[in-house]
Structure 1
Amino acid sequence: MSVPAIAVHRVPRHPNAWWVVLLLAHWLVAWLWWSYGWQVALPLLAVTHLAMVWGTLRPDSRLFGPALTRVATDQRVLWLTIDDGPSDETPAVLDLLDAHGAKATFFLVGERARRYPEHVREILRRGHGIGNHSDSHFTRRFWALGPRTMRDEIEHAQATLTEIAGIRPVWFRAVVGMANPFVAAPLQRLGLARVAWTARGFDGAVSDPRRVLRRVERQLAPGVIVLAHEGARHGRNLETLTLLLQRFDELGYRCVVPVPQMAGGPDIAPVETRLAD
């Protein structure tokens, strides 16, 4: 079966450009302060720092590099992405997807993949995709990691997943979607493109499946990227995913693994194409 959706794969091209912009902005602030006083310069300084915060905390921000939020299609297809695995729930999630004829991309955590290597291989065997979701999943402070720790988090997860799966992931998702300025450089080195989302119901924290469903359904449209989770502490991710898949079927949406394609270029990941067949 061919895949009708194209996901444009954009690796950061200038991962350190933000340094130049920030230095120029601070030079301008200093000049304004010297020339016109703090009343003029201080608002610009505040705007500069607020922009940095916004660019880090907003999941679909492109301030520090590209972020994919939907796939190119006018057909009723979705890109279902499942974060935070592998976990004890992974086999049940795979059975549920099979029951609905749905395909998904699993954004996997390196240390959890080392704990459940057989689940990683089973994800691929059943025709799904995998992506890099950091090595340790620092939920509360991923956004604040420095350049060395951020590099290690992304590179170690990439090495783990490549070794276990036998393929090199081409997608990356930041933990909680928050990508600070130090994410872009390792993504460029590893050829990874960052994936955000279009529709989410906060199922990693919200334990009411119907509440999650209502939120996701309001955001559905052809080509949206749906964010889901497995293994949350509340233990109701499977119930939630069941409702979501049932509703997708009722609305005529199919969940597919899109073909990754370089902007303006050919397909770059034959293995992803094979997995989607």
Structure 2
Amino acid sequence: MTDPETLNRIPRRPWRWLPWLVASQLLVALAWWKASWLLGLPLMVASHALFMVPVFLPNSRFYAPVLSRLSGAAPHVWLTIDDGPSDETPAVLDLLDRYQAKATFFMVGERALARPDLVAQVLARGHDLGNHSHSHPQTRFWRLGPATMGREISACQQALAQVAGAPPRWYRSVVGMTNPFVAPALKRLGLTRVGWSARGFDGVNCTPQSVLERLRPDLQAGAIVLLHEGAAHGHNLAIIEAVLQELQAKGLRAELPDAPAPIADAPSSPVRPAPTAA
């Protein structure tokens, strides 16, 4: 589906930002000494922003390489579903089967250990897994130190390897936040960081229609689509089905990024929604 070299974005130099940090602070100190705080203070604020803002940009390559789109013009997208497994996982799998779609489930390690049967169902039905941290510390992930960050990522990797029989190759940061200490763990574990190019903010309070309206312009060939399961608002299943219907209407296939190219280009049969009881 996509050139393997394009997919292989394991960090090679995870500490490459450090010399730039040191140089920037030396420049600030020099400015403060030569021109007083009137220049030194603005430079200090700007230098801190330079190193802080990329943490909150999901597709920033400042601290680690990231895969944010698939290469090529083939009519396919990569569906990614975060935060499972959950009580909704079996229904999500049924939807994907109905629309002949494949997805990568970025799972939380603790949840995978608690629901190994759901992990097994995901794999048995032809999908794959990604690392989404061990405990999903959403409010503080951005500020985790090197030891804690390393434990979050490595513990999830161990949990998924234990449950699935093999470690995943993909990683996604919690809420997309990637601080300087993510890349060393990714290099050690051989993980490729995955961002996204289509996001509907379905993990927060929303409606299926509002999510689809935000996603629709970005549902194009090569898109990496961010979706969720198990959110408290209860709309994730309706959102996922709406996205699958939109992909079908646009002639786009939901495939895994390293899936082999189809032998023939014969279009698949349209999928009709399952009938509801009268």
User: Is the structural similarity TM-score above 0.5?
Assistant: yes
Cα distance in 2 for partners of 1:9, 1:27 equals 35
Map Cα deviations across residues 178-207 of structure 1 (whole Å, 9 max, x no partner): 011111110110001110100010011133
Report the counterpart of residue 124 of structure 1 in structure 2.
123
Residue 31 of structure 1 and its aligned partner are, at CA, apart by 1.2
Cα distance in 1 for partners of 2:21, 2:227 equals 35
Cα distance in 2 for partners of 1:44, 1:219 equals 37
Residue type of the alignment partner of 2:177: M
Q: How many residues align?
A: 261
**C-alpha contact 1:5 1:77 (8 A) present in aligned 2:** no
**C-alpha contact 1:82 1:229 (8 A) present in aligned 2:** yes
Cα distance in 2 for partners of 1:195, 1:11 equals 10
**C-alpha contact 1:198 1:226 (8 A) present in aligned 2:** yes
Map Cα deviations across residues 89-140 of structure 1 (whole Å, 9 max, x no partner): 1111001000000000000000000111111111111111110000000111
Cα distance in 2 for partners of 1:43, 1:219 equals 38
**C-alpha contact 2:170 2:194 (8 A) present in aligned 1:** yes
**C-alpha contact 1:123 1:129 (8 A) present in aligned 2:** yes
What TM-score do you get using the length of structure 2 for normalisation?
Answer: 0.90
**C-alpha contact 1:206 1:212 (8 A) present in aligned 2:** no
Cα distance in 2 for partners of 1:37, 1:234 equals 53
Residue 76 of structure 1 and its aligned partner are, at CA, apart by 1.5
Report the counterpart of residue 221 of structure 2 in structure 1.
222
Report the counterpart of residue 244 of structure 2 in structure 1.
245
Cα distance in 1 for partners of 2:72, 2:119 equals 28
Map Cα deviations across residues 53-82 of structure 1 (whole Å, 9 max, x no partner): 211011111110111110112012110000
Residue 170 of structure 1 and its aligned partner are, at CA, apart by 0.7
Cα distance in 1 for partners of 2:127, 2:177 equals 25
Give the aligned CA root-mean-square deviation in angstroms. 1.6
Q: Secondary structure at the match of 1:67?
A: coil
**C-alpha contact 1:151 1:183 (8 A) present in aligned 2:** yes
Report the counterpart of residue 60 of structure 1 in structure 2.
59
Report the counterpart of residue 20 of structure 1 in structure 2.
19
Residue type of the alignment partner of 1:148: A
Report the counterpart of residue 200 of structure 2 in structure 1.
201
Residue type of the alignment partner of 1:167: A
Quick check: 1:185 aligned with 2:184? Answer: yes
Report the counterpart of residue 170 of structure 2 in structure 1.
171
Quick check: 1:96 aligned with 2:95? Answer: yes
**What stretches of structure 1 of length at least 5 have no aligned partner?**
260-272
Cα distance in 2 for partners of 1:139, 1:119 equals 23
**C-alpha contact 2:229 2:236 (8 A) present in aligned 1:** yes
Residue type of the alignment partner of 1:34: W
Quick check: 1:153 aligned with 2:152? Answer: yes
Report the counterpart of residue 83 of structure 2 in structure 1.
84
What TM-score do you get using the length of structure 1 for normalisation?
Answer: 0.90
Cα distance in 2 for partners of 1:73, 1:119 equals 33
Cα distance in 2 for partners of 1:193, 1:123 equals 20
Report the counterpart of residue 266 of structure 2 in structure 1.
none
Q: Secondary structure at the match of 1:73?
A: coil
Give the % identical residues: 49
Report the counterpart of residue 258 of structure 1 in structure 2.
257
